[in-house]
Amino acid sequence: MSLILILEQILNGLQFGVMLFLMAAGLTLVFGVMGLINLAHGALYMVGAFAAAAVAGLTGSFVLALIASLAAAAAAGALVEVTVIRRLYDRDHLDQVLATFALILIFSEGTRWIFGSFPLFLDVPDYLSGPVTLPGGIKYPLYRLAIIVIGLVVGAGLFWLIARTRIGIQIRAGEADREMIAALGVDISKLYTLVFALGAALAGLAGALVGAIQSVQVGMGEPVLILAFVVIVIGGIGSIKGALVGALLVGLTDTLGGIFLPRLFTLMMEPAQAASLGASLASMLIYILMAAVLLVRPSGLFGGSA
């Protein structure tokens, strides 16, 4: 096991973590501001990926595909917010879970209806394909590096938006006291639609970026959704900073665990047994991490009171 391999895996973990952050940021914003648990967030990720694959297929442009993913997911998010989600803000979590689960069924089957059951493929553009040599002699796929950079840039933009802009102030005020900012003349329902569409756009972008590495298919958003839940539970629901830290923790733990646990077990037992036990345990690692965090801090690393 060489240092280069370890560094490569750390980069992979970072890339995975950054993608998770794009997903988790929307979820945690929507929960923090509107108090809504949105299971359909993964469906918006899927919408982004499909929109990107369709536009890339028509135009051949990857940049247009990414723009389409943002636009389609934001539009789908805004539509869903206006028609369904806004009726759920005052309901209990059970109703929110059910209604958004129903939305998953509608989105998944609707997408299957339009695009069929076969996966679509979104190609990495030429100018981003192939490996790049990093300082230290590590060869790493350029596209994955680009994902890390895009993710970090978007993340930084989000922090700036929340911390420095007027919209950000309104969003934070909405988290703290929704009646008060409504009384101060902010159109709260427009703000909610905006926040929801923003979260959706981030999820859609993540879907498109990951769609170029994996295949674009119905149901692709659900495993990511559940990981994003793990992320925000670890980070503390409602906290963007928590989402970032949680996402990187989960991304790194999952990637490094999957590679190194089987190897670690090989030191202690025979290879076949070690491989299967290592793989089983590695698949559970992030949940064990989550349980450990909860034992120490039931409301997550950066959460207030649950």
Residues found near another protein in the complex (CB under 8 A): 31, 37, 84, 87, 91, 93-95, 97-99, 101-106, 108-110, 112-113, 222, 226, 229-230, 232-233, 237, 276, 279-280, 282-284, 287-288, 290-291, 294-295, 298-300, 306
Size of the chain in residues: 306
Q: Toward another protein, which CB reaches closer, 165 or 273? A: 273
Report, in Å, the least distance between residue 181 CB and another protein: 22
Report, in Å, the least distance between residue 79 CB and another protein: 14
Report, in Å, the least distance between residue 95 CB and another protein: 5
Residues 6+ apart with CB under 8 A from 58: none
Q: Are 236 and 302 in contact (CB under 8 A)?
A: yes
Report, in Å, the least distance between residue 31 CB and another protein: 7
Query: Residue 139's beta-bridge partner residues?
Result: 133
Q: Toward another protein, which CB reaches closer, 25 or 208? A: 25
Q: Toward another protein, which CB reaches closer, 141 or 262? A: 262
C-alpha pair distances (Å), 148 with each of 15, 69, 122, 155, 225: 5, 18, 18, 10, 19
Q: Toward another protein, which CB reaches closer, 98 or 269? A: 98
Q: Toward another protein, which CB reaches closer, 3 or 296? A: 296
Q: Toward another protein, which CB reaches closer, 129 or 214? A: 214
Report, in Å, the least distance between residue 230 CB and another protein: 5
Report, in Å, the least distance between residue 197 CB and another protein: 20
